[in-house]
Structure 1
Amino acid sequence: MKSRFCLNLVFVTGLFILSLNVKAQEFKVTEIPVSLVGQYLKTSNPNISKIKNLFPADRKFKNSKDHTAVVQKIIDANKVIFLPDFKIFINSKGLKIGSDKKIIFRKNSSIQSVGFANGRFSDVVKIYNAQNVEIVNAVIVGNRYSKTKSQTGQWSAGIAVLNSKNVTISNAKISDTFGDGIFIGSEDGGFSENVVVDGGWINKARRNGISVTSAKNVVLKNILISNTYGHDPQCGIDIEPSWEKDIVNNILLKNIYTFHNQVAGIAINLNEFNRQNASNIKKVDITIDKHTDEGSRHGLLTSLNTEDLPHDAQGLIKIKNADWRQNQVPYWFTPNRHSIKIEFSGIVIDHLQKKKDFETKVKNIENVKLISE
């Protein structure tokens, strides 16, 4: 069903501001080519011949409809955990991963959330206040379509990293989350540090594929994110502090492929760093290298100093070697004056007129530079 409406997404504290008259169409999930998925999600069968099975071997455990208590107890008691080689069901408590843990999914391992989202901290896998954590080959199906109880809010990530450091998530397949696929940051003014997400596929997240709210030294690379829709911001990756205490420093996105996301492939919103006074001005450092977007409304979206305050975030955003395809507007930005510098280089846009429009616009924006190839 088609309709016309004025889309006012206010890009503050988790929401976008887009004041656009757009011709909207109900979002339709698009099937992802198998060949594309295979470039980012690798098949893996860890060598477990010498690994002791930590879980009950009886049929009662395997056939259980709620494995949460048993799995949590084993995670708490061990440093290296190979999950059972079958689907396990995890309730609303989620699984808490403490410090110095390595969680490995076997060939047929997966987590199915059978809980429901009920505000903050409703995440499926919870890396809270921890360090030295590694998650390998995760397969997580969220509770987006849960019918057990009415769900509220925008939370319940597949994996949430809060106030943690030295965390690696490799080759994860995450789908159908009520909130984000992966959340990296804090909920109390802290930050996460030294976080790497390498490889994998995030599909049909309701909020964002990946959110980064408060962190430093983060690397997101070799990731496919598709079909993000349902609750604003609805982007493949959204870098967006939640409040003034957050930090966004040394964030690297490399070889990211965003496919058919409702609003944008990648979004950067720094409005929570706007200031009336010159105290505690935040410095931001973000690099996006080799980003491909196919079919999202925007390849890239930036929202900066929308309140036109005297002081806002400083620092540098670099976007290089991007390839934006089949977008309504490849680069959408707020027109307000901003202090942070933005550099574009090696930008490919598949539509000639849209490429010319992009080049004309960015050349006329203060503190934005288009570097010739």
Structure 2
Amino acid sequence: MAEIVVLGAGMVGIGAALALQARGHDVTVLDRREPGRETSYGNAGLIQQEAAEPYAIPHEPSKLWHYAIGDSNDLVYHVPAVLKTAGPLWSYFRASATRRHRLIAQTYSRLTGRSTADHAPLIEAAGAQALVQRTGFYQMHRDPRAFDKAVGEAARLRATYGVESRVLDGAALMTEEPALRREVAGAVHWTDPWAVKDPGGLVAAYARLFVDRGGRVVNGDAQTLTQDGGGWQVRSAEGPLQASDVVVALGPWTPELLGRFGYRVPMVWKRGYHRHFRVATALNRPIQDAANGVLLSPMVDGLRIATGAELVDRDAPRNLRQLERGLAGARELMEVGEPVNDDVWVGHRPCMPDMLPVVGPAPKHKGLWFDFGHGHQGFTLGPTTGEILAAMFAGETDDDVAKKLGYGDASVFGGARYG
């Protein structure tokens, strides 16, 4: 049995803690906030079993032109931030080329494909069934040409990865979603994902399960991590914590910490926003409004409007342009009232240039482990990469893990990628 400290109490950190705990280890989770209050809180609340291919940078000249002139709400950018991360962005762009992207997806699809199966026992054990709706979400299109293209893409994903979906025209969508007051071209209903109406609440429920099973969650500053003889030490509100092993699951804050130990982490931060609004009639399922680059999710606090990506420095001032356009688009579709409160959430997705999470032992430090870089899917993949990490911790090689969990070539998970 090892004494392990997991740095980060989001879905990724808690998922790793539960997986390590299940194998008999003494695990403590440390975070500056309560579990599930950072990036895991702010997402659109989807466990995206259908997300077989990671989000790529488009190569089509027309899409790049729309990005360049600021016509797209999927992504907005700021020139200084783009210049600062030009190297990682160029690597990301190269990895997004069709042939390479589909090679990456051979691994990625195996991760997302088992995500709901890895969440299911935790949801039951945590008593969190009421937070989860297992009925998918809609990808809605206003433009008929965009809708036809989406239908073809859904057929390709079904044939390639077995991703299930159904197609609805505008009238059928309005029948299934009485809150809508305007007919659109149609929607693809992705049937396999699960929608969570309180993402932070689900992480908190998993954290309570972890504590009930004998784990500890403490407040502290992960950036105080130091080597301590043959182990590690980090300062917490309860005093110094010593451990033989430490897992870095800090999402967008990972590069700052690991840089002190000589690791260069070429992370791309994609900022996202959300805000809750009152609605007269709630949606039955989340709706992705493709034309306006937002996802409309029914939550316990009202309708959550969650934006796409903004390429910006982590500490840059808030820019509500995407959220405001998304709100205007939502009000064209349904009756959306005033904000529930004055809070606008802002956070950052930790994206790696090759679009794969970094999971495994650090190449230069004994007892240091990586579990970060999940991009848009940390909420989806936290329990899954936790299982991978726990298997590696037990001494299984990448190939052993691949064969056991059915991932194909799992060597891409190793921490040595960014050693």
Q: What interval of TM-score do these two structures reach, taking the shorter chain for normalisation?
A: under 0.3
TM-score between the two structures when normalised by the length of structure 2:
0.22
TM-score between the two structures when normalised by the length of structure 1:
0.24
More helix by share: 2
